Amino acid sequence: MTTQGPPLAMLTRRLAETPGEFLDTPHVAAVANDVALLLGARLPPPVLKRMANLGSGQRRPLVALLAWMLADDWFVATPPGQPALVALFEEGAAELAATASARRFIGDPERREELVRVALARLGWHPADETHSQATDRLAAISGIERRRLLEASRAAERRARELREALARQAAEEAADKWSRE
C-alpha cells in the first residue's frame, strides 16, 4: 500500500452503480479473466478452474464485484499485474466473503469503502489524497476482516487466561492438600 491509487469516491460510486444482475453471472471465471486481459494479464488455468468451481457461495459474486471495480478506466491505465490480480481474486475475495455478502458491499456505504480499501491494499495502492499511514489506519478502523481477527484474538486471549486461572487454582489446591497431609 505504498503507491497512490485512484480516488476512493470514484471507486465507491462505481460499486454503488453495479448492476444487480452482474453478481448473478454463473461465468465468474470468464468475467475475471476478461478483466485480467483488459488489464494486460491472464489468469492461470488452475485459478480459472478454482473460480469456475466456486458454486453459489458468497465468494463467486465477490469475484464478480471485484472484476466490475477493476474494469474501471483508472485500472486499465494503471494495471496492477497478474500476481496482484490473482491474490485479490482468490485471497481477497475469500476474506471479504467471510465478512459480508456482495450485495451488502454494494448497498452499505461503509462496506463499499471497506471493499475498495481492501482491494487497493492487496494491489499495493492506497486511495488518492491519503498517505500510506492514513489509509492503513482507516482500513483497520472499518475492516470487517480486522474486526474478525481482533475478535478471534480476544477469544484466544480469554481462553488462555481461563486456562491459566484453572491451572493456578489446581496448583493452589494441590499445595493446600500437600500442606494438609504434612500436618
Residues 89 and 136 in one domain: yes
Residues 153 and 136 in one domain: no
Instruction: Provide the pLDDT confidence category of residue 144 given band limits of 50, 70 and 90.
Output: low
By CB atoms closer than 10 A (0-12, 13-18, 19+), residue 96 is buried
Q: Which of 85, 84, 37 is nearest to 63 (CA)?
A: 85
CA 31 from chain centre, in angstroms, equals 20
Residues 22 and 90 in one domain: yes
Per-residue model confidence as pLDDT tens digits over 11-70: 999 999 998 888 888 899 999 999 999 999 999 999 999 988 887 778 899 999 999 999
Residues 48 and 85 in one domain: yes
What is the CB-side half-sphere exposure of residue 119 using CA atoms within 13 A? Answer: 28
H/E segment holding residue 149: helix 144-182
Collapse the DSSP code of 80 into the 3-class scheme (helix H, G, I; strand E, B; otherwise coil) and give the result. coil
Residues 85 and 99 in one domain: yes
CA 81 from chain centre, in angstroms, equals 19
Q: Is the pLDDT of residue 141 over 90?
A: no
Q: Which of 102, 91, 113 is nearest to 12 (CA)?
A: 113
- Residue 168, pLDDT score: 83
Can you name the residues that pair with 4 across neighbouring β-strands?
126
Q: State how many domains the chain has.
A: 2
CA distance 157 to 159: 5
List the domain range (segments joined by +) for residue 152. Answer: 146-183
